[in-house]
Amino acid sequence: MKRLVIAVIAGMVALATPAMAAQAQIQHHEGEIGGVKYRVEVPSNWNGTLLLYSHGYYPDGTAPPETLLSNRLYDTPEWLLRNGFALAASDFEGLYGLAIEPALRDQIALLDWFEANVGKPRRTIATGTSMGGGIAVQLAERNLGRFAGVLGMCGEYDPQGTWNTALDITFTVKTLLAEGQDIDLVKARDPAASSEALKNAVLGAQNDDKGRARIALAAAFGNIPGWYSPHEPEPTDKIAEQAKWIYGAYIWGMGPQGGREDLERRAGGNPSFNIGVDYRRLLSKSVLRDEVKKAYETAGLSLDEDLAKLAKAPRIAPDPRAMAYMYRYTVPSGRMPVPIVTLHSTGDGGAVADQARWYAEQVDRPDRIRQLYVGRGGHCGFSAAEELTALKTLLHKVDTGRWPDTAPVKLNAAAASYGSTYQNVLFLDTFSDKEMAPAITTFTPPEPARPSH
């Protein structure tokens, strides 16, 4: 899978470069600042706006061969450069894992370099995808006067809350689906073996109704939707799709091997905990509680007995130093000094839409934020047209001081006006594109399962 990711990205980037060059004269700048790779592209018709892009979370070994400039690999940058926008991005020190702390430093170092070597932008917009959406938010919060706006796409705005949720999910898998197995959820003695055992437990559980019910329960603790592919309609068998999210995002991405190893190294210990968590109460708050009850009834299982097992299972305490690290570097304050637009898929199970709701509730000036939702599954499954529509919504506010009409019918018409070239949506699991109609919709995410505050 990792080789496929790298190979396909390499092909897409290679195909993209000639198209961009043919349509505009572009100054390309690549190099290193303090040993960290960066990439800058400035069109000859630069309009004075710089988009500083923060990339998402790369599990070890999965980064693309070139520094990315946007969520969409080629069509979004092509349009932006052709229309006068300058683009810049850093790879962040270390590149892989939860590289938020170095990103906050390296992105500002790149902005300083740009101003010294290219020119001072008329305005700089912080953009970002997934983990990078949260980084973009923090860049604006922490650097007053440097940014005019923020565009966060499929953002992971509360990493401390997300890693606690990941622990809740893997704790449920270990307790109910891998009972008696020697699995370390944190500070793993054998990270590969622990992750493999969790993966096999989830894969095996799909073969009968009892296992499926317990998958549904684990997913409910994180409000994980059952909609894995952005290319398909919302499925009727949501548990099978939830299992894919649990394995792909919460075991492979944030499990004992790779994800938690990196997190604990950066934070100086384990920041996650479930001491004091009442899983019965957590389920009662979940938007998926009725689906869980139905799955348990179908399986003939006692939900009360499983919740009692979770209540009795040994709990995990955090390392205070590691928790302090997370709050210092990964959790935004909500003191947003500039306009912000968030763009999120309703069916995203990797960075659930609850994250966008959580950040909106932190923002001290609600008039500064607008939130757009795309009725689609998958993580970061937006078309270039949808991304550009979100950006133009933000720029209208930056330019005029007023928000435009953000009714879905208006925004979808705007997105459709870009034509078929910009309507492709990427499915990260297969790295395949498919042309999709604009799908911006009205949506209210559920409350986050276990937010940091």
* pLDDT tens-digit map of 390-404: 999 999 999 999 999
H helices of 88-208, in order, are 100-117, 131-142, 159-172, 191-205
DSSP count for the chain of H helices, then E strands? 16, 11
Are 440 and 374 within 8 A, CB to CB?
yes
Q: CA angle, corner 40, sides to 87 and 53, nearest 5?
A: 45
Confidence label for 23 from pLDDT (cuts 50, 70 and 90): low
Are 127 and 49 within 8 A, CB to CB?
no
**Which CA distances in Å does 5 have to 2, 61, 67?**
5, 10, 15
pLDDT for 207 = 94
Mean pLDDT of 296-302: 98
Q: Which residue has the tokens 């370390």?
A: 184
State the Cα–Cα distance between residues 415 and 411, nearest whole angstrom.
Answer: 6
End-to-end CA distance of the chain: 36
Q: Helix 209-220 to helix 159-172 angle, to the nearest 10 degrees?
A: 160
Q: Which of 56, 90, 85, 95 is nearest to 72 (CA)?
A: 56
Largest CA distance in the chain: 68
Q: Which residue has the tokens 């449920």?
A: 172
At the fourth CATH level, the homologous superfamily of domain 2-157+332-441 is Alpha/Beta hydrolase fold, catalytic domain (3.40.50.1820)
Mean per-residue pLDDT of the chain = 94
State the Cα–Cα distance between residues 25 and 443, nearest whole angstrom.
Answer: 41
Q: 62 pLDDT exceeds 90?
A: no
pLDDT for 1 = 34
For residue 89, give the 3-state DSSP assignment. Answer: strand
Q: 145 pLDDT exceeds 60?
A: yes
State the Cα–Cα distance between residues 58 and 66, nearest whole angstrom.
Answer: 13
Strands 369-377 and 340-347, sheet pairing: parallel
The set of residues, in sequence order, having a beta carbon less than 8 Å from that of 282 and lying 6+ positions away, is: 168, 221, 449, 450
Give the tens place of pLDDT for each residue, 193-249. 999 999 999 999 999 999 999 999 999 999 999 999 999 999 999 999 999 999 999
Strand order in the sheet with 49-54: 26-33, 36-43, 86-90, 49-54, 123-129, 149-153, 340-347, 369-377, 440-441
pLDDT for 409 = 99
What is the residue extent of each domain of the chain? Answer: 2-157+332-441, 160-326
pTM for the whole structure: 0.94
